[in-house]
Structure 1
Amino acid sequence: MAAAAWSCLLAGCATTEVAAPPATAPVAAESEDARIAALLSRMSLEHKVAQLIQPQINSVTPEEMRTYRYGSYLNGGNGGPYGNEYAPAADWLKLADEMWDASTAPLSNGEPAIPAIWGTDAVHGHTNVVGATIFPHNIGLGATGDADLVRRIGAATAAEIAATGIDWNFSPTVAVAQDDRWGRTYESYSEDPAVVAELGAALVEGLQGKTSPGGHIGAGHVIATAKHFFGDGGTTHGVDQGNVDGDPAMLEALHARPYPAAIAAGVEAVMASFNSINGTKMHGNKPLLTGLLRGRMGFTGVVVGDWNGHAQIPGCTNSNCPQALLAGLDIYMVPDDAKALHASLLAQVKDGTIPMTRLDEAVTRVLRMKLRAGLLDAGAKRPSQRVNGGDLALLGSPEHRAIAREAVAKSQVLLKNDGVLPLKAGASILVAGRAADDIAQAAGGWTLTWQGGDDLTNAHFPGATSIWAGLRDAATQAGGRAVYSPSGSYAAKPDVAIVVFGEKPYAEFAGDRKDMVFADTEGLDLLRKYRAAGIRTVAVFLSGRPLWMNRELNAADAFVASWLPGGEGAGVADMLYGRRAATGRLGFSWPAGCNGQPVNGPEGALFQRGYGLSFGQTAPVAKLPETCAILDARSAEWFDLGRLGNGIVARGGDVTLPNLRGSGGGITARGIDRNRQEDAREISFAPGATLTLADSGRGTGGFRLVYELANAPTAPVTLTTGGKTIDITAGLTTSAGKGWREMIVTGACAPGNGRTLSITSAGALTLRIARIARQDIPAGVDCSF
């Protein structure tokens, strides 16, 4: 094509169906680099900067897109088109077309109009959208050990994403989770980096439809993202967004190992992690983002940030952070401050803070990713007009649900079986437990809403099947009978009771735990009830990680780790009835002790990674010890449910604060509502102020505090008890903005015999407190925030 004709095409002066073809026509003799360089040379500085900015759909309109020409945008876990997180699929497609039209509208002076791309967290299917197929979370897929299955899941997920007009998936998570107290453990395939590498690469291939670097993404497929680079599964105490300590070479060998496999599979994007490595935030870690990822690993694609992750770099804010770009970030995920960030980056390029060469390098990578997605070709179409675009029948299609059902069956891990499984034809079964008919609980977090669960009912999941519905149909087909009782009651004695129970849904930091002990007794009570009545039992445990539950293992005749199977509960029935073999194997070590500590490897494991029974292996589990100091710990409430405990006095400086209310000594305390009227306190500290709680008795033990901190401290904060002062600034900084958290103070960091607990802030601070308890915390439990 002649240069003049090419320029006309890029400027939008050709007549086509869409507002303007956004970029280059394919020229066989022209290299990828030459095409991108030609585009880059004709872009304004303002539009180059805009390519590096990614706002969320809740905060950017098509009109603003037309003005600013942001390179990409995303929907958050609680975001949906036009402010409706339950918007029908057609609305997602409609918004995608509107954003395409806005970003490709012709520009003046022959400048190319570069299309914006939409990114989403489709971490176990396209589960932000009502009606999409809900696959098992990664922890379940890791238990299948089936790379081909994962590849097929990736292709099915890509087709459903493309059907709604979205271009980019922030998946797979290739974290190598090492501390299962971490709230994202279920996003990890395994504690074994080799397993994570294999399955992560397979999902990349399925999503993108290609198996090597440099090639074009397949028609009807989407851009994949390996995340979060790196170490997110290895933070101290399993704290989300925390710090990873250790020898750099050893950390790299463990936590960075999956990335070369993803790069070899052709992954086009890598997402930087929130966490720090040896105290340095990954979003600003040039030796790792540029030196390791770009240099030694040879990654040439886009490095994208996580939700305002750049703002966690010291000296940065949401709207001002040249450090991240200079360290190696290419795209800022800045949900709500896009305009301000655009202004600051533009100014920093103009004044030389950011070299033009670095800007052009980052924009080149963004353009290359779009070129490989086919979006810079002449005649590139609106999202609704592409392969799979607008084919909304793909969402939850029978073919995709069949893949999900297969994955559910293969992910079930049989840990104990005294001969009750597989269920016999003609058996009368009782299905008990509230979770059995709760699709939202079986699906877990990142399902329609960020945290999942809450107010979601089965009506929110058209076409999906609960575990109960799958068992009911399977029992009928086997000539038997099934009855469902959420409370576990029954009129006629069944042959077998299947008890479904487990963790409630959560995502990210909301799922962080302080220990590895499952304390909820709903399932335990039912299992013990049926055992006492002489009814054979099968425990089906829903969870995002292995947990200590010796009591339930003792009480059940068969025990199945079901993980978070998603929306095709019939897959559970397929395994329980023996329609599919019991092939699931643990991707994570299962803890033997209840000391609350993580387990990786045989030491301390009740069941080692790779364990799982097949049918015919009816090996009983020897009776397990059930005593657990964490469960039996005595607790003395110093403050709870809006009241100070007996004998507890609160003071601001030297001024008494009756029932932890009022002002004095630079402290102001007022009642706020957490779960009920004024059941918590908001404590405002003036600079240098101290809040003290004192016990008139002789209490001993550690402390547990339930607290919330909206903003990170601006100055040091200390906690004093038993005559020892500890700096808690770093822990509070990590916890800021993450909702209600739990702080544990044990003898590991402070004496256990203090009769007072004091918090001092050198700067202004607002801290919310819901509970302070003195507790006998077992030895070995770490201090954490």
Structure 2
Amino acid sequence: MIADMVSRMSLERKVAQLIQPQINSFDAEEMREYRWGSYLNGGNGGPYGDEFAPASEWLRLADEMWDASTQPLPDGEPIIPTMWGTDAVHGHTNVVQATIFPHNIALGATGDPDLVRLIGAATATEIEVTGIDWNFSPTVAVARDDRWGRTYESYSEDPELVAQMGAALVEGLQGKKGAEDYLGRGRVIATAKHFFGDGGTDQGVDQGDVNGDIDALKSIHAVPYPVAIEAGVETIMASFNSINGTKMHGNEALLTGVLRGEMGFEGLVVGDWNGHGQIAGCTVSDCPQALMAGLDIYMVPDDAVALHSSLVAQVRDGTIPEARVDEAVARVLRIKQRAGLLGPDAQRPSARPNAGEYDKLGMAPHRAVAREAVAKSQVILKNDGVLPLKPGADILVAGVAADSIAQAAGGWTLTWQGGRELTNDYFPGATSIWAGIEEAAQESGGSATLSADGTFEERPDIAIVVFGEEPYAEFAGDRKNLIFADTEGLELLRKFEEQGIPTVSVFLSGRPMWVNRELNASDAFVASWLPGSEGAGVADILFGAKAATGKLSFSWPANCEGNPLNGPDGALFALGYGRSLDDTAPLGDLDEGCGFLDGAPAADWFVNGRLSAGISASAGGMDLPNLRGEGGGVVARGIDRNRQEDARELTFGPDSSFTVSGEGEGAYIITYNLPAAPAGTVTIASGERTEDVTRRMTVAAGKGWREMVLTEACLGEFGDGLTIATNAPLQFSIAQISRSTLPEGTECSF
């Protein structure tokens, strides 16, 4: 059937099956004209431009796109329905009212694959409610550097645990291979991602470089894929990162040679968001290399028409053999057939099982599974005898995170980045950590009072302080070190300590972090991760309603530098650590020293739109007073970042350079924004050494404002100035330049 359909399709229709735009960039009329094989909603995308649209609007759009894709075609050309993919990475969390499960880092701490299967099944049902076919999950990254902004999407630093949990989620989403319900009612297509090495980038830089012996890299980062394939995963997503200098979207040796040749994967390989555009020689609208390397579907959010035009032309001129197109199209159609989207019994989205049954979004059985997952994921790191909380206790609950469902949920929650600006009104049916504690306290015969700033009128018996990382996703969460620098929780803990009030810390984070100060100031400390919508699961552990069984799936750092651990060396708490409620052995006082915090304050060279006294800027021998003006092919102008003209945009012509100089000591720290990858070579020089930073700047491009740290590790002995030079046009913005003494051995980072 599949071969016959492919043989009757026009080249234009075949190429369209390999293109996946996002819902915010096209409409049903375009779908009717081009017949895109699939489409997606991005992290900030919602039907008809409303990312908070009710579930009924998601289903309406699914029907609309299905109808447009199934209109009759001339000359008997086969009609191929489209399919919709979404990032439901911890529940169907793009949709209001859906159950928000704990992120993968928490599920790794449960060590319970059967529970993960239940989560997959619940998520699939809620996805089906909205008429969507395909989930871009599970993430089977093996995160080996916790500075990475996607660490919370990883189950563990242990490849075997990642493999076990990832396969369980695949089975939960799709059903077990060979079972009657496989890809049937309450099941959706799953995606193992990102193949491969996404969790192994240098310094944890998202989309960065992974370097080393290929067999050694495979022994860590490729381990989850054969297990997911054995579990029946239908699709695998290519990774943004490079392996030894070659971007994965264009890496034929790995996408085809290893994934298909060695691992035997016969399903569909889909790209990530414009990932093909990062291949050398490619743009987002012109990239035959990706298809030839083994990609089957281009995820091209906003340039689908232009990419379609170039691919059709490249098949016609012989750049791409049509047989390769036919191979990829057959894979797309085969998955549609298996999922019931192609054939005489295929149904419009709203006519399918679970579709439009909106009471299944966040329904009680799903929330019960989520609550169980929260409880099983709580890891007790310290307990001086204050847990479980005593019945009848009067409890003060402090910290702005305590009553924020959004902060407990983290990134990929209603919006791409998530955030506390999403008030609890956005989460009907959900329970904050505070609300769960309040209910448990009352049931125990005690009371609970919420006071974000920790003030009180009547002295409590104990205080629970809820604090942690604010939400983030992907590269926005990349960090230079593992210091938990927000002092709100620390200040509250120390205040209660001075008042003689025992404290329990509930720490929300997407990774292990250096919290020695907070641990010292707490009588009990719980790593709560990103628990999601069922905060009562936290209270279940604090009050002893359930046994504490959570174990670390990542090594916890003893120091603040952030260098990769992945074992007991340098770990305060090793992989697998986690106390039971009756383990009250003293932790002892921890070292609170941290070179990043203990050094002298940074000396600002450029801040708030002004050069400091004694600091000069120049280009081509021409002075740039207050970093404005032009010279030697460089133009510097004021731009707004946080306030009026507090930053500078530097536009370089070919073979131009910019220098800032003055007296100072220590590393250079630059807050910068590089909107697009360099067109040529970029170098940075200080003293007698010049460093080619082109590749590292390319990885940083398009990620917004970032921090560049330049130490002796890459520049050698510093001179009294810093020069940035390029041989091709470049646009580069600077908000701050400072110098600071950092701990010895600090790496250069971008």
Please report the TM-score for the alignment, with normalisation by the length of structure 1: 0.94
Q: Counterpart in 2 of 1:610? A: 576
**What displacement does 1:714 show?**
0.5
Q: Counterpart in 1 of 2:666? A: 701
Q: Distance in 2 between matches of 1:577 and 1:645?
A: 55
Alignment of 1:511 with 2:477, yes or no, is yes
Task: For residue 494 of structure 1, give the secondary structure of its aligned residue in structure 2.
Answer: coil
Q: Distance in 2 between matches of 1:633 and 1:691?
A: 29
Tell me which amino acid in the other structure corresponds to 2:536: A
Match of 1:141 among 107, 113, 116: 107
**What displacement does 1:705 show?**
0.9
**What displacement does 1:47 show?**
0.7
What are the residue-to-residue correspondences of 1:623-662 with 2, within 5 Å? 623-634=589-600, 635-662=602-629
| Cα pair 2:284 2:307 within 8 Å, conserved | yes
| Cα pair 1:704 1:773 within 8 Å, conserved | yes
| Cα pair 2:175 2:181 within 8 Å, conserved | no
Match of 1:750 among 700, 712, 715: 715
Alignment of 1:667 with 2:667, yes or no, is no
Match of 1:676 among 643, 662, 667: 643
Tell me which amino acid in the other structure corresponds to 2:698: T
| Cα pair 1:54 1:335 within 8 Å, conserved | yes
| Cα pair 2:146 2:562 within 8 Å, conserved | no
**What displacement does 1:754 show?**
2.0
Match of 1:254 among 200, 220, 228: 220
Q: Distance in 2 between matches of 1:273 and 1:57?
A: 22
Q: Counterpart in 1 of 2:21? A: 55
Match of 2:439 among 473, 476, 486: 473
Q: Distance in 2 between matches of 1:735 and 1:444?
A: 23
Q: Distance in 1 between matches of 2:16 and 2:405?
A: 40
| Cα pair 1:596 1:781 within 8 Å, conserved | no
Q: Counterpart in 1 of 2:699? A: 734
Superposed CA offset, 1:701-737 (max 9, x none): 1111111111111011111112211111111111111
Q: Counterpart in 1 of 2:540? A: 574
Q: Distance in 2 between matches of 1:306 and 1:193?
A: 22
What are the residue-to-residue correspondences of 1:218-229 with 2, within 5 Å? 218-229=184-195
Q: Counterpart in 2 of 1:29? A: none
Q: Counterpart in 1 of 2:388? A: 422
Superposed CA offset, 1:213-250 (max 9, x none): 99951222110000000000000010000010011001
| Cα pair 1:213 1:267 within 8 Å, conserved | no
**What displacement does 1:653 show?**
2.2
Tell me which amino acid in the other structure corresponds to 1:691: F
Any runs of at least 4 consecutive aligned residues in structure 1 with deviations exceeding 4 A, and if so which? 212-216
Q: Counterpart in 2 of 1:90? A: 56
Q: Counterpart in 1 of 2:31? A: 65
Q: Counterpart in 2 of 1:263? A: 229
Alignment of 1:409 with 2:362, yes or no, is no
Q: Counterpart in 2 of 1:107? A: 73
| Cα pair 1:141 1:407 within 8 Å, conserved | yes
**What displacement does 1:598 show?**
2.0
Match of 1:710 among 672, 675, 678: 675
Tell me which amino acid in the other structure corresponds to 1:603: D
> Tell me, which stretches of 5 or more residues in structure 1 are unaligned?
1-34
Tell me which amino acid in the other structure corresponds to 1:650: A
What are the residue-to-residue correspondences of 1:148-547 with 2, within 5 Å? 148-211=114-177, 216-453=182-419, 455-547=421-513
Please report the TM-score for the alignment, with normalisation by the length of structure 2: 0.99
Q: Counterpart in 1 of 2:12? A: 46
Q: Counterpart in 2 of 1:622? A: 588
Q: Distance in 1 between matches of 2:643 and 2:142?
A: 39
**What displacement does 1:583 show?**
0.6
- Identify if the C-alpha distance between structure 1 residues 623 and 212 changes in structure 2 by more than 3 Å, giving closer, same or farther: farther
Superposed CA offset, 1:466-490 (max 9, x none): 1111111111111101111111111
Superposed CA offset, 1:680-703 (max 9, x none): 1111112122111111x3x21111
Q: What do you get for the CA RMSD once the two structures are aligned?
A: 1.2
| Cα pair 1:595 1:780 within 8 Å, conserved | no
Q: Distance in 1 between matches of 2:512 and 2:470?
A: 14
Tell me which amino acid in the other structure corresponds to 2:585: A
| Cα pair 2:404 2:420 within 8 Å, conserved | no
**What displacement does 1:454 show?**
5.2
Alignment of 1:585 with 2:526, yes or no, is no
Superposed CA offset, 1:16-67 (max 9, x none): xxxxxxxxxxxxxxxxxxx211211221111111100000001111111111
Q: Distance in 2 between matches of 1:520 and 1:82?
A: 38
Q: Counterpart in 2 of 1:8? A: none
| Cα pair 1:653 1:690 within 8 Å, conserved | yes
**What displacement does 1:752 show?**
4.7
Q: Distance in 2 between matches of 1:215 and 1:528?
A: 55
Q: Distance in 2 between matches of 1:342 and 1:390?
A: 33
- Identify if the C-alpha distance between structure 1 residues 251 and 296 changes in structure 2 by more than 3 Å, giving closer, same or farther: same
Alignment of 1:771 with 2:736, yes or no, is yes
What is the identity percentage for the equivalent residue pairs of Structure 1 and Structure 2?
A: 68
Q: Distance in 2 between matches of 1:693 and 1:95?
A: 53
Q: Distance in 2 between matches of 1:644 and 1:189?
A: 46
Q: Distance in 2 between matches of 1:229 and 1:213?
A: 27
| Cα pair 1:465 1:567 within 8 Å, conserved | yes
**What displacement does 1:212 show?**
5.4
Match of 1:597 among 545, 563, 566: 563
Q: Counterpart in 2 of 1:16? A: none
**What displacement does 1:353 show?**
1.1
Q: Distance in 2 between matches of 1:203 and 1:445?
A: 19
| Cα pair 1:210 1:218 within 8 Å, conserved | no
Tell me which amino acid in the other structure corresponds to 1:532: E
Q: Distance in 2 between matches of 1:325 and 1:206?
A: 30
Q: Distance in 1 between matches of 2:134 and 2:719?
A: 54
Task: For residue 102 of structure 1, give the secondary structure of its aligned residue in structure 2.
Answer: helix
Q: Distance in 1 between matches of 2:32 and 2:448?
A: 58
| Cα pair 1:220 1:389 within 8 Å, conserved | no
Task: For residue 714 of structure 2, give the secondary structure of its aligned residue in structure 1.
Answer: coil
| Cα pair 1:213 1:264 within 8 Å, conserved | no
| Cα pair 1:49 1:359 within 8 Å, conserved | yes
| Cα pair 2:407 2:420 within 8 Å, conserved | no
Q: Distance in 1 between matches of 2:736 and 2:689?
A: 22
Q: Distance in 2 between matches of 1:60 and 1:363?
A: 22
Tell me which amino acid in the other structure corresponds to 1:701: G
Superposed CA offset, 1:389-446 (max 9, x none): 1111111111111111111111110000000001111001110000111111111110
Tell me which amino acid in the other structure corresponds to 2:613: N
Q: Distance in 2 between matches of 1:184 and 1:334?
A: 22
Alignment of 1:781 with 2:746, yes or no, is yes
